[in-house]
Amino acid sequence: MITMNRKIRAAPRFRGALAGIVATVMMFGLADLLARAFNPSAAPLPTLGQAIIPLAPPAAIKPVIALFGDNDKLVLILSTGLGALAVAGLIGAVAASRRRLGLTLLLLAGLVPVIVIILRPEASALDIIPTIIGIAVGITAFVLLLRLDKPETPAEAAHRPDSASGPVPGSRTSNPLSRRRFFTLAGAVGAIGAVTIAAGQTVASLAQDAGAAVAKLVLPTPAKKATAIPAAASTDVDGTAPFVTDAKDFYRIDTVLSPPVIDPEQWSLRIHGMVENEVTLTMDDLLDLPLEEHHITLTCVSNPVGGELVGNATWLGYPVRELLARAHPSADADMVLSHSFDGFTASTPIGALTDDRAALLAVGMNDEPLTPIHGFPARLVVPGLYGFVSATKWVTELEVTRFDEKTAYWTDRGWDEKAPILVASRIEVPKPLAKVSAGDIRVGGTAWAQRSGIKRVEVRLDDGDWAEATLAEEVTIDTWRQWRADFTEVETGTHTLTVRATDKDGTVQTAKRRDSIPNSATGHHHIQFRAD
Ligand SMILES: Nc1nc2c(c(=O)[nH]1)N[C@H]1C(S)=C(S)[C@@H](COP(=O)(O)O)O[C@H]1N2
Ligand SMILES: [Mo]
């Protein structure tokens, strides 16, 4: 009797959970699709996901980036969605026995995305309309579903053909007819939800085409061309990364779920804070300046040893040094806090922006305007510093200040204030666990030590001696340098290769392993391969 009672009660609870889940799918789908028409940045699911990012503990972010790479954003959206469905399912299960409580909880849960949307810095009151409509329709569907999931009256139960013993006293047995209607409606609501989600994604990918904004920006001919890249800058070992990284292959790290699309005609850069003259620069002003082109290798502090979060491009821009000079920074200032359109900030030592290095306010990458994910229409690129303290994309403000007055996005989360790039090297060929023919083996890779330059790269096979690699020609001290090494008479079996680099100051890349927080992972890169 007791087990039977439990079974009978589990069924409405299950249907309640299902009602909550399909109603929520529909709410998100509908709200998302409507938001695409109004204002894509007001779509509830991405907005919820985006709101979670700054709250996430840094210790959790880095492993996610390491595990999923560029897919970290997809993983975040999916887990936010699954989390929301789990909550909706629980509330639905509660509503099966306590309707009013369930409805109140659902309404409260629905308010969460509304509040998050309103709290965005760029929010307008209209932004909540899609979500409110989604919630209203979702809750209506939920109520209808619960109504259909009515318990069977004793009279109905008595007339059921299979009811030999009549209704169980005190139990809620659902009515088979309304149960069928319930599942039909639940299926329909779920399907509408799925279709609206798919439609929203399609509209989103069409709208994401920032082509129109990018087409408005026509790059001028550089007043100063970058040094020509000699053929000898590449070792030509098959399978190594090219010397110049294509924009589409360039690693991407940022805290936005989708890059802002900024109209260059609306963009401006404001230089303010501890300055004598505030300066505001429009895109036309910037494009009229004598722009310079420089090859610069950009690196992320989160790059694991041997990792892919490094790339080399030819950047076109104007020296930040000159822009700052127009504003006349106070002698007490020691930092420039660059602000992005999306709220991200980076704190750069003012010296790195005013010395002779090519710190650029960049508009071009490899002869094209920046792509939206790499900072269109303008970003900073500073040789020798990790991206999180220097390479602000979608940059809109340079605030001249002091380290003891202001902090930046990542420094607030435990990363170093000042982050010069450490000497590093990686093996690109052979690939980890590759099978190669025994005998003569060619090894190739890249090393970097921006601002200093690479002096030496050494490679070791198994426990052998360090062998000096052949370096490709250096293009500038701010670009990475390819290398290759040849080993002969490599025997059949499994082998390990290890690499280390030395910069021109004589600093040898340390073998000591450490984590990327607060100032980059260290250790030697090694890989295993099989010779057959
Ligand atoms: N607006 C904005 N700019 C940003 C970031 C960000 O999160 N938001 N991330 C920084 C970090 S950590 C790095 S490593 C570089 C990466 O630039 P990329 O994505 O063009 O390779 O951008 C920097 N600029
Ligand atoms: Mo980074």
Q: How many CA atoms lie within 13 A of 200 on its CB side?
A: 28
Q: Do 181 and 306 fall within a single domain?
A: no
Q: What is the dihedral of CA 234, 240, 243, 245, to 10 degrees?
A: 160
Among 387, 413, 439, which residue terminates a domain? 413
Structural domains of the chain, count: 3
For a pocket test of ligand 1, which of 253, 370, 448, 519 has the largest count of ligand atoms closer than 8 A to its C-beta? 253
For a pocket test of ligand 1, which of 254, 341, 363, 388 has the largest count of ligand atoms closer than 8 A to its C-beta? 254
For a pocket test of ligand 1, which of 388, 394, 421 has the largest count of ligand atoms closer than 8 A to its C-beta? 388
User: Domain for residue 439, yes or no?
Assistant: yes
Place of tokens 């989390």: 83
Give the DSSP letter string of 464-513. Answer: S--EEPEEPPPS-TTS-EEEEEEEEEEPSEEEEEEEEEEETT-PBPP---
Q: Which atom of ligand 1 is nearest to the CA of 340?
A: 1
Q: List pLDDT tens digits, range 108-165.
A: 998 898 998 888 766 778 888 999 999 999 999 999 988 887 665 555 555 555 544 4
Global confidence as pTM: 0.76
Which residue type occupies 245?
Answer: T
Distance, CA of 185 to CA of 38 (rounded, Å)? 29
Q: Do 334 and 434 fall within a single domain?
A: no
pLDDT tier, 213 (very low <50, low <70, confident <90, very high otherwise): confident
Q: Which token pair is 290?
A: 């004598």
Which residues are near ligand 2, the ion (C-beta closer than 5 Å)?
253, 300, 387-388
Q: Do 338 and 191 fall within a single domain?
A: no
What pLDDT score was predicted for residue 250?
A: 97
Place of tokens 């170093």: 416
Residue 425 contacts by C-beta under 8 Å, 6 or more apart in sequence? 445, 446, 447, 448, 454, 457, 483, 499, 500, 501, 509, 525
The candidate with the shortest Cα–Cα distance to 74, out of 194, 196, 192, 204, is: 204
Give the DSSP letter string of 265-284. Answer: TT-EEEEEESBSS-EEEEHH
Q: Do 293 and 407 fall within a single domain?
A: yes
What pLDDT score was predicted for residue 67?
A: 66
Instruction: State yes or no: pLDDT of 516 exceeds 70.
Output: yes
Q: Do 207 and 88 fall within a single domain?
A: yes
Q: Do 386 and 494 fall within a single domain?
A: no
Ligand 1 contacts CB of residue 234 (under 6 A) = no
CATH of the domain at 380: 3.90.420.10
131, 495, 496, 509 from 463: Cα distances, Å: 62, 10, 8, 18
Parallel/antiparallel/unpaired status of strands 435-436 and 525-531: parallel
Nearest bound ligand to the CA of residue 73: 1
What pLDDT score was predicted for residue 150?
A: 66
Q: List pLDDT tens digits, range 403-417.
A: 999 999 998 888 888
- For residue 507, the Cα-to-chain-centroid distance in whole angstroms is 32
What pLDDT score was predicted for residue 297?
A: 98
Closest Cα to atom 7 of ligand 1: 254
Among 413, 442, 475, which residue terminates a domain? 413
User: Domain for residue 224, yes or no?
Assistant: no
CATH of the domain at 489: 2.60.40.650
* CB atoms near residue 522 (< 10 Å): 17
Ligand 1 contacts CB of residue 149 (under 6 A) = no
User: Domain for residue 199, yes or no?
Assistant: yes
Mean pLDDT of 387-398: 97
Q: What is the dihedral of CA 180, 182, 188, 194, to 10 degrees?
A: -120
What pLDDT score was predicted for residue 245?
A: 98
Ligand 1 contacts CB of residue 390 (under 6 A) = no
Q: Do 135 and 267 fall within a single domain?
A: no
User: Domain for residue 306, yes or no?
Assistant: yes
User: Domain for residue 216, yes or no?
Assistant: no
Mean pLDDT, the chain, whole residue set: 88
Q: List pLDDT tens digits, range 64-100.
A: 666 666 667 777 888 888 999 999 999 999 998 898 9
Q: Do 92 and 117 fall within a single domain?
A: yes
CA dihedral (58, 64, 67, 70) positive or negative: negative
Ligand 1 contacts CB of residue 391 (under 6 A) = yes
Q: Which of 64-68, 225-229, 356-360 has the lowest mean pLDDT?
A: 64-68
Name the percent of the chain in helix, strand, coil, to the closest 5.
40, 25, 35
Q: Which token pair is 110?
A: 């629905």
> Percentage of residues in the chain with pLDDT exceeding 90?
61
Ligand 1 contacts CB of residue 397 (under 6 A) = no
Q: Do 153 and 195 fall within a single domain?
A: yes
User: Domain for residue 225, yes or no?
Assistant: no
Q: Do 36 and 118 fall within a single domain?
A: yes
Ligand 1 contacts CB of residue 243 (under 6 A) = no
* Segments in 268-366 forming alpha helices (H): 283-288, 320-327, 350-354
Among 146, 181, 211, which residue terminates a domain? 211
Q: Is-contact 353 322, C-beta < 8 A?
A: no
Place of tokens 């509408």: 192
Q: Do 154 and 243 fall within a single domain?
A: no
Q: Do 364 and 395 fall within a single domain?
A: yes
Backbone angles phi, psi at 530, to 5 degrees: -115, 130
Residues belonging to the chain: 532
Contacts 24+ apart (CB under 8 A), 159-162: none
Ligand 1 contacts CB of residue 293 (under 6 A) = no
The candidate with the shortest Cα–Cα distance to 392, out of 378, 380, 374, is: 380
Q: Which token pair is 244?
A: 């110049």
The candidate with the shortest Cα–Cα distance to 97, out of 186, 32, 40, 174, is: 174
Q: Compute, in angstroms, the gap from residue 387 CA to the centroid of ligand 2.
A: 5
What pLDDT score was predicted for residue 55?
A: 76
287, 368, 518 from 372: Cα distances, Å: 18, 12, 28
Q: Which token pair is 16?
A: 């309640």
User: Domain for residue 7, yes or no?
Assistant: yes
Tell me the residue range of the domain where 517 lies: 424-531
Instruction: State yes or no: pLDDT of 167 exceeds 60.
Output: no
Nearest bound ligand to the CA of residue 315: 1
Place of tokens 């694991």: 304
Ligand 1 contacts CB of residue 315 (under 6 A) = no
User: Domain for residue 166, yes or no?
Assistant: no
Instruction: State yes or no: pLDDT of 171 exceeds 50.
Output: no
Instruction: State yes or no: pLDDT of 522 exceeds 90.
Output: yes
Q: Which token pair is 150?
A: 């009515």
